[in-house]
């Protein structure tokens, strides 16, 4: 799964990296009122940066993390749809429409996973990032959900992160990882006119081992109330510090 990640790069840097134009919430070179600033502990239901294509142009905008399907009665269902399994996208009532028409990239400076510690209840968190320090392009899907007219008719744009089998590095920690797209796949993935399901599926493969560096970090990341660059600082995994109530045991999103 992917339940926490880092989004510390500012929107203008992300837009340049992905050759994307600022979206509705972003002014070039200016302050973005919807961006809460750098975050080292992004959690489900937070607003996150998303790259998508519309009108032949890539855009960067802000979406709710936790996909809300068009048929949902209310947006609370999104809390259960932060991830979408790569092997079931075309069959899932929640994701098949978005898989065909509304694919996106969720930029991340890295993500967290938790590893079971033999003989202990606690799990050891790891920060997983690229070897060269460049952002990851996490494969995602998006939808737009609209309230009934009698309830105001407002809309909510939301997204989910696709997960699949891990590579060998992440496989030592967890049995799944987010799908990381190489730059060569961005155009095909983001193109809303691309309906070639088999070709799209072939993009959903584990990232090469060389793309991932995993280091143990402290237990503070297990509590969403903690944030800051100290969360990604490496620690000695043998440190007996107690877990802070983790996503290791699926932390409560406080």
Residues annotated as part of the active site = 2, 113
Tell me phi and psi for residue 4, to 5 degrees.
-150, 145
For residue 9, what is the DSSP state?
S
Identify the three-state secondary structure at position 36. coil
Burial 70-102 (b: 16+ CB within 10 A, else e): eebeeeebbeebbbbebeebeebebbbebbbeb
**Cα three-residue angle 94-224-79, rounded to 5 degrees:** 15
Alpha-carbon gap, residue 86 to 163, rounded angstroms: 6
Question: Using an 8 Å Cβ cutoff, are 63 and 156 in contact?
Answer: no
- Taking alpha carbons only, the member of 196, 203, 201 closest to residue 181 is 203
Q: Report the length, in residues, of the chain.
A: 254
Question: Using an 8 Å Cβ cutoff, are 248 and 125 in contact?
Answer: yes
């Amino acid at each position: 799964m992917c339940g926490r990640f880092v989004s510390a790069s500012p929107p203008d840097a992300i837009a340049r990296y992905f050759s994307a134009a600022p979206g509705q919430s972003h002014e070039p070179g200016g302050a973005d009122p919807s961006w809460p600033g750098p975050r080292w502990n992004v959690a489900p239901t937070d607003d996150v940066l998303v790259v998508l294509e519309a009108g032949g142009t890539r855009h960067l905008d802000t979406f709710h993390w936790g996909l809300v399907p068009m048929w949902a009665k209310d947006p609370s269902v999104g809390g259960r749809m932060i991830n979408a399994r790569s092997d079931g996208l075309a069959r899932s009532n929640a994701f098949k429409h978005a898989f065909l028409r509304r694919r996106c990239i969720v930029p991340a400076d890295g993500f967290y996973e938790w590893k079971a510690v033999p003989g202990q209840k606690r799990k050891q968190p790891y920060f997983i990032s690229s070897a060269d320090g460049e952002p990851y392009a996490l494969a995602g899907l998006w939808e737009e959900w609209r309230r009934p007219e009698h309830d105001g008719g407002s809309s909510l744009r939301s997204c989910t992160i696709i997960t699949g089998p891990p590579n060998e590095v992440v496989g030592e920690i967890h049995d799944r990882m987010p799908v990381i797209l190489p730059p060569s796949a961005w155009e095909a993935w983001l193109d809303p006119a691309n309906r070639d399901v088999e070709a799209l599926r072939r993009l959903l493969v584990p990232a090469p081992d060389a793309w991932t560096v995993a280091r143990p970090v402290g237990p503070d990341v297990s509590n969403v109330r903690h944030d800051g660059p100290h969360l990604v600082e490496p620690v000695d995994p043998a440190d007996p510090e107690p877990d802070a109530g983790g996503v290791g045991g699926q932390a409560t999103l406080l």
